[in-house]
Structure 1
Amino acid sequence: MPSTLPDGEPAPPSGELPASALGELGERPFGIYVHVPFCATRCGYCDFNTYTAAELGSAPGASRATYADAAIREIRLARRVLGGVDLPVVSVFVGGGTPTLLPPTDLGRILRAVQDEFGLAPDAEVTTEANPESVDERSLTALRAHGFTRVSFGMQSARPHVLAVLERQHTPGRAVRCVEEARSAGFDHVNLDLIYGTPGESADDWQASLDAAIGAGPDHVSAYALIVEEGTRLAARIRRGELPMPDDDVLADRYVQAEETLSRAGLSWYEISNWARSPGDRCRHNLLYWTGGHWWGVGPGAHSHVGGVRWWNVKHPAAYAERLAQGLSPAAGREVLDPFTRRFERIMLELRLVDGLDLEVLDPDGRAAAHAAASEGLLEPAALRDGRAVLTLRGRLLADGVARDLVPTGESLAGQA
């Protein structure tokens, strides 16, 4: 969760949603995201809404020990706000921060609250993120016993000097061993997160990270370009000239390198930054985001979306816990998306997927732009003939620009949902 929140409009203290939003429940999958805002240390590149123990101090309600109780209160609030509609949860994703700084029993309590209030779909995907140094085979076995089906490790790099620039605390081989431990604990689905473009990382360094990740045997790999966020220690070091700013051409080369290496190893892209061994190994929670599903975000700074209404919680764990203790929604603000914005976001998100975007979503100008993009090698011509806009490899490198060219005008969307 980003450390800054949008402006938006005030959210009702009760958390209630417009009838129009509630009326869309049941039409699309529903998931729950749980943000655990605690970290042992803060990485130099991180701009997420996270806190170390020293930063939180003794603020009431900000303790790791009381976090699960506050999160469970919000899950119960979510059930009241969303009413009695049958809404089985198809995916739960616990992110952070470092969720595995909490005991497995606390994470299990949160998951049981979701089950008690909403029910889990029979094949629900239940993921937790984990820093490699925050788990061992015993804790992973406990998480599996509590109902988690998938674990995602923040590997980032296999090179010590790259991890040092990122200020990651684990040793280069630890994430690889974590995959083995997760398999032994009974996890069938394991992801490794990688970052490319770190200052000082060479093509050989990136290849070593890709090779190490593949050798660990995950069924899913995520690879993200390093983004230098204002306010981070990394941004300050670059501003002082201690480190160079990541180069866009280098980032493009690293992405192509990732695509070639991962595809050779049997992992296929299904979203610009994500590769899986089979369709069944794709992250269903993230697919829910990319395909316009509904989700409730639990935790400080967490974002939610239901039926075209998006809202976000207060950032600080103490303020979050205090509101819930008073029976109030922790939402800090919200926005009701207009038809143009909803269509714009659908185009931007679905175009990122290997299945692409249905051309019927576009207006005539957008369809003409799609044909122009195909002629420039940005969209697959065969898919276009089948009525879908699917990015080529070159198109993936320029995805945001391609999507903007396809966006219909506000006037053409007047009155559309």
Structure 2
Amino acid sequence: MDNFGVYIHVPFCASRCGYCDFNTYTPTEVDTSHATYLEALGRELELAAAGAELPEADTVFIGGGTPSLLGAEGLGRILGMIRQHIGIRPGAEITTESNPESTSPAYFDGLLDHGFTRVSLGMQSASAPVLKVLDRRHTPGRATAAAREALAAGFEHVNLDMIYGTPTETDDDVRATLEAILGTGVDHVSAYSLIVEDGTAMSRKIRRGELPPPQEEAYASRYELIADTLEAAGYGWYEVSNWAKAGGECRHNLLYWRGGNWWGAGPGAYSTIGDSRFFNVKRPERYAETLAAGRLPVAETEEITPEIRHFEEVMLGLRLREGVRRGSVTGDVEKHARAGLITVGERIAVTDKGRLLVDGIVTDLLASE
């Protein structure tokens, strides 16, 4: 089994952002005892290694939620568990997400001491009004300050996430965010269009008329603004929503997009091992109770059929700059090639024009098979 990854889900947040529908919990919703969580997590990794022949990890990614709430010591303890039960290969990429408001120079020093090689910071925007609409807690300058602290500590690989398309956002807000990002010197940028999910605080505010709906017609122009600005500054796109300087690509996410294998540990995490995909229970208390009883906390298992694997190869692969194997697509590629949306050779890949329409291209290609 090549290119094996480990994903760890930390389900705790100090507060809930208005747009978020991830499996996260605040102190008012569940017992956010880090000790209980870490004990259960260690037990899951132990049972995983005992029940399957897992190779050492090429990549580790700790996400959430807010992993930085555990502090460098808590995150270091997680790495120790992975090393003990699964193993981490020399030269592995080891990433943790972090919220800017729960980081400090000492925190980044601690991460390096424990073996982390990469940090991903949630910036979202440099605009105070936009951050307020998103219910983000950090001030506009904190994310870029945290990125500089991480770089000063010695991290070579630092990512900043941004979101575009927030209600009330302007093109100038996007330009200011990009200017702030470029001023830090980070080697990776992720930019995601806002999706208003049902059940979130933001969707309720829009439904009540307290916020205008996102301006979907502006998404394309803002994406082009982001792409043009980053690419002019030396960041190459390698996935539709991700740009990096040479060598700064996120190896763990590439493992997902290329159909690799990984074990996902923590409440709500999911794993893909061979032709099997399985999902953990979501509630932290049930997760801990199941592991205390000596059982893996799997809530659902799904077989990855050839049809599912083919769908995912095309759907995810066409989002990558490298594209997909020519033989993996049997739909009407020539129509999209004539429209200048894809290139066809040994591999099929979207053009710059096609990046804006990749979801529709995938749907059409699969429908025409």
TM-score by length of 1: 0.86
Partner of 1:11: none
Counterpart among 45, 51, 64 of residue 96 in structure 1: 64
Residue by residue over 1:299-352, the C-alpha shift from the partner in whole angstroms, topping out at 9 and shown as x without a partner, is 001111111211111111110011111110101111102111110111101111
The answer to whether the 8 Å contact 1:296/1:305 transfers is: yes
Residue by residue over 1:15-63, the C-alpha shift from the partner in whole angstroms, topping out at 9 and shown as x without a partner, is xxxxxxxxxxx1x311010000000111111101111111114xxxx51
Aligned equivalents of 2:197, 2:352: Cα separation in 1: 26
Partner of 1:398: 357
Partner of 2:337: 374
In the alignment, structure 1 residue 79 sits paired with structure 2 residue 49? yes
Aligned equivalents of 1:308, 1:370: Cα separation in 2: 28
Superposition deviation, residue 180 in structure 1: 1.2
Look up the equivalent residue of 2:42 and give its one-letter code. I
Aligned equivalents of 1:256, 1:128: Cα separation in 2: 29
Superposition deviation, residue 408 in structure 1: 7.1
How do 1:80-229 residues align onto structure 2 when only pairs under 5 Å count? 80-83=50-53, 87-229=55-197
Partner of 2:20: 46
The answer to whether the 8 Å contact 2:48/2:296 transfers is: no
Superposition deviation, residue 170 in structure 1: 0.3
Tell me the number of residue pairs that the alignment of Structure 1 and Structure 2 aligns: 369
Identity across aligned pairs (percent)? 53
Counterpart among 348, 353, 356 of residue 323 in structure 2: 356
Partner of 1:325: 292
- Higher normalized contact order (CA 8 Å, seq sep 6+, divided by chain length): 1
In the alignment, structure 1 residue 32 sits paired with structure 2 residue 6? yes
Residue by residue over 1:233-273, the C-alpha shift from the partner in whole angstroms, topping out at 9 and shown as x without a partner, is 10001111121221322011111110000001110100000
How do 1:281-292 residues align onto structure 2 when only pairs under 5 Å count? 281-292=248-259
Counterpart among 289, 304, 307 of residue 340 in structure 1: 307
Aligned equivalents of 2:310, 2:136: Cα separation in 1: 38
Aligned equivalents of 2:17, 2:5: Cα separation in 1: 28
Give the 3-state SS of the residue equivalent to 1:93 in structure 2. strand
Partner of 1:387: 346
Aligned equivalents of 2:266, 2:18: Cα separation in 1: 23
Aligned equivalents of 2:198, 2:346: Cα separation in 1: 41
Counterpart among 196, 216, 223 of residue 248 in structure 1: 216
Query: Higher mean Cα deviation, 118-127 or 280-289?
Result: 118-127
Aligned equivalents of 1:133, 1:408: Cα separation in 2: 45
Stretches of structure 1 lacking an aligned partner (at least 5 in a row):
1-25, 413-417
TM-score by length of 2: 0.97
Give the 3-state SS of the residue equivalent to 2:322 in structure 1. coil
Give the 3-state SS of the residue equivalent to 1:161 in structure 2. helix
Look up the equivalent residue of 1:70 and give its one-letter code. A
Look up the equivalent residue of 1:359 and give its one-letter code. R
In the alignment, structure 1 residue 63 sits paired with structure 2 residue 33? yes
Give the 3-state SS of the residue equivalent to 1:34 in structure 2. strand
Counterpart among 265, 275, 288 of residue 308 in structure 1: 275
Aligned equivalents of 2:355, 2:13: Cα separation in 1: 33
Aligned equivalents of 2:334, 2:86: Cα separation in 1: 44
Aligned equivalents of 2:252, 2:129: Cα separation in 1: 33
Superposition deviation, residue 181 in structure 1: 0.7
Aligned equivalents of 2:353, 2:213: Cα separation in 1: 23
The answer to whether the 8 Å contact 2:122/2:162 transfers is: yes
Query: Higher mean Cα deviation, 394-403 or 136-145?
Result: 394-403
Stretches of structure 2 lacking an aligned partner (at least 5 in a row):
none
Aligned equivalents of 1:106, 1:243: Cα separation in 2: 38
Look up the equivalent residue of 2:333 and give its one-letter code. A
Aligned equivalents of 2:216, 2:349: Cα separation in 1: 23
Give the 3-state SS of the residue equivalent to 1:53 in structure 2. coil
Give the 3-state SS of the residue equivalent to 2:158 in structure 1. strand
Superposition deviation, residue 371 in structure 1: 1.5
Aligned equivalents of 1:156, 1:222: Cα separation in 2: 10
The answer to whether the 8 Å contact 2:167/2:215 transfers is: no
Superposition deviation, residue 88 in structure 1: 1.8
Partner of 1:272: 240
Partner of 2:204: 236
Aligned equivalents of 1:335, 1:202: Cα separation in 2: 42
Residue by residue over 1:175-194, the C-alpha shift from the partner in whole angstroms, topping out at 9 and shown as x without a partner, is 11111110122211000000
Give the 3-state SS of the residue equivalent to 2:25 in structure 1. coil
Aligned Cα root-mean-square deviation (Å): 1.3
The answer to whether the 8 Å contact 1:68/1:107 transfers is: no
Aligned equivalents of 1:211, 1:379: Cα separation in 2: 31
Aligned equivalents of 2:254, 2:59: Cα separation in 1: 10
Look up the equivalent residue of 1:329 and give its one-letter code. L
Give the 3-state SS of the residue equivalent to 1:281 in structure 2. coil
